[in-house]
Structure 1
């Protein structure tokens, strides 16, 4: 049985232990940039302003 090593999700090169799951700081930063720039999205409807404020208020009580 052959075990296939996991690859960097950005460039498909072998992963680096220092930057797992990426191969380098460049790919790690590219991924982070995608999240900041709305390149990735979690499916679902947008939260209503009332829901956000209720969550913030609840967080202060804890």
Structure 2
């Protein structure tokens, strides 16, 4: 059985891969704050951003 990536409890199929809505919300908060970063080069500005 898989484990919740936030608290390590067994995951719940209703909230997979998390064990509860609380842990799913904690993970979402990490993404929204920018705690998780996907490595790579910074994106180049689009042409619409340069036109302003």
TM over 0.5: yes
Aligned residues: 48
TM-score, scaled to structure 1:
0.70
> Higher RCO, 1 or 2 (CA under 8 Å, sep at least 6)?
2
Q: Which runs of 5+ in 1 are unaligned?
A: 54-62
Computed over aligned residues only, the root mean square deviation of the Cα atoms, in angstroms, reads: 1.3
Higher relative helix content: 1
Q: Which runs of 5+ in 2 are unaligned?
A: none
The structure number with the bigger radius of gyration is: 1
Q: Which runs of 4+ in 1 moved over 4 A?
A: none
